[in-house]
Chain A
Amino acid sequence: MLAFILRRILQSIAVLLTVGVVAFSLFRYVGDPINAMVGQDTTMEQRDELRTKLGLNDPAPIQFARFIYNASRGNFGLSYRTSEPVGRLILERVPATLELSFCAAVFILFVGVPMGVYTGLYPNHWSSRLLQAVSLFGVSLPPFLVGILLILIFAVSLHWLPSFGRGETVQIGWWTTNFLTWSGLKALILPSITLGLFQLTLIMRLVRSEMLEVMRTDYIKFARARGLSNRAINFGHALKNTLVPVITVFGLQLGSLIAFAVVTETVFAWPGVGQLFIQSVQFSDIPVMAAYLLLIGLLFVVINLVVDLLYSAVDPRLRGGGSVRVAGH
């Protein structure tokens, strides 16, 4: 068990280092950091001097080590676009993205799992078939289209909900929150649904197929023979045993949620990290892109690691060999 944990941690560090090398190469070799810092009239000698002073003439491994050291302390350099420290730019926008992803995750769990249980228990009922068909549609609709359609219906036609921005937020320390004002809560509804819908259909289909599988097993028949109530069987016995893969997939989906927030934040003009990333891609703002890449890489690696370790803790068969991976796009 210990060997397995150690091996997984080593693998994670290797992945992180690779991501670090990519981020560093972007940072160092795409675009010239000096050009972004000085004016047109700076002479070549002055530029060279600045280059030496900043350590840009040092050997690449030393520069890389310095880059990682600075990054680990939250120092990612200055944005080419706004000349502000990248660390602060990102930190300002983290609460918006995390709150949005949290709401989407809650939506997925509290709507997707019950829908999956229902369609798994009554697979032939007409409403289950309808849900199945709708979920097939859900995986084929690009998220940005879902967002636009929701805006069209609930904001433009019905005027029920706002179509852009976070509404009023409350500042608690450096964290800004949507949860304490009515307009902030209203602003969260459409983006959360947009962000969560795709993953909701995935979770629903997963829970459904797992439930169908479990309901065929012997111990469910025995539970029925013992005269347990339907409720106890469905939720106490069946659902509990479907939850292991569900937790895994859901854990891996959490990372994708934060990554896919890029699209949702653009549709709803949501001032989060994803929107910052899109702006940095459009302006080729390399320091922001490198920092975003590192942070997302860290997030994915940590989530993968935790999910793998949790999984092996729950399912002893996996402790001997490799890791469990669910490829997701």
Chain B
Amino acid sequence: MATSSALGGWLHRVTDSDVWWSFKSSPMTVAAAAVTFFIIAVAFLSPVLAPHTPFDPATLSLSDGLKPPVLISDDGDWTFPLGTDDQGRDILSSIMYGTRLSLEVGFASVIFAMVLGIALGLVSGYFGGTIDAVIMRIADVQLTFPAILVALLIDGVVRGLISVQRHDEIALFVIVGAIGLSFWVSYARTVRGSVMVEKNKEYVQAARVIGLSPVLIMIRHVLPNVTGPVLVIATLNLGLAIITEATLSFLGVGLPSTEPSLGTLIRLGNEVLQSGDWWITVFPGITLAALVLGVNLLGDWLRDALNPKLR
């Protein structure tokens, strides 16, 4: 009973808030949220929902290869709703598994960038001085380069340091690290700015007087003040991270083709595009575009909803 009333109270707080109201009154945002969460749910449930297991060689048959989608095929056979690729893999199932992988890389690299950026921003803003100068100059230099180039460089360097075989095994970590390292700057700058404002306020001084450690002060007292802007950056970065992963995989420096993400699927389809088998490329492409568009719309809305100036 107690838990249900607590849940009810929490629900009431959510539905009573300004942010919820601005969400409800924007049909475009509601639609974007619906599309995004539908894609995310289907992707993460792909082991249950997918009609085939596309990357288990035992279930593949070359005689199923290059079947067109059911809507333009003559036999009306629904075994492969969106057709198959040259190996006989079901496109729909490939997309579901691929989206899951793209999302995993996206979320993981955003979280990595966020943790790294917040930590460096807190340290930079709280301690100031030389350490601040060093971190911020590195940020300046990195900001000079587009994120995709930074990620490419990191990937290339890792390839130089380890063998090809080993690289395929840890490709997932390499790509998450590369994307994460190329996105930390915006978090660090935002957090640093807020910390410099907050650290001279009385409540932080009071916390210092009662002898709390700098780490505790930063995490318990300063960090909660920057959740809003960090959340906005994270949402907008999720779209960018998904695009960056897809681009890297498309360029053939991302994930190996044994474990294809959406970008890898598009690259594999692109190799046979000239023969007119468009569905292998177009359906993963549409999924990618819909996902990124949905995430971007949510990010734009969140930015406006959390910005008190625009209320």
Contact = CB atoms under 8 A, between A and B. Distances in A.
A296 B160 CA distance: 21
A149 B285 CA distance: 9
B9 interface: no
A329 B147 contact: yes
B145 to A, nearest CB: 7
Contacts of B140: 15
B178 to A, nearest CB: 11
A14 B278 CA distance: 49
Given A18-B137, A142-B247, A263-B247, A30 B160 contact: yes
Interface stretch (B64-72, B91-99, B286-294): B286-294
B296 interface: yes
Contact of A145 (B155, B160, B239, B288): B288
Interface size class of A (residues with CB under 8 A): 35 or more
Nearest to A304: B144
B47 interface: no
Contacts, number: 123
Interface string B124-164: 00000000000001101101111111001101110111000
B144 to A, nearest CB: 5
Given A15-B144, A289-B156, A293-B153, A145 B266 contact: yes
A263 B251 contact: yes
A26 interface: yes
The prevalent SS among residues of A at the interface is helix
B247 A144 contact: yes
Given A262-B148, A289-B153, A327-B186, A282 B270 contact: no
A151 B159 contact: no
B246 interface: yes
Interface residues of B, number: 44
B288 A163 contact: no
A136 B292 CA distance: 11
Nearest to A300: B144
Q: Which of A143, A148, A280 has the most B CB atoms < 10 Å from its CB? A: A148
Interface string B101-136: 000000000000000000000000000000000000
Contacts of A156: 273-274, 276, 278
Interface string A139-163: 1111111001101100011000001
Interface string A225-264: 0000000000000000000000000000000100110110
Interface of A: 14-15, 18-19, 26, 30-31, 136-137, 139-145, 148-149, 151-152, 156-157, 163, 256, 259-260, 262-263, 266-267, 277-278, 280-282, 284, 286, 289, 293, 296-297, 300-301, 304, 325, 327-329
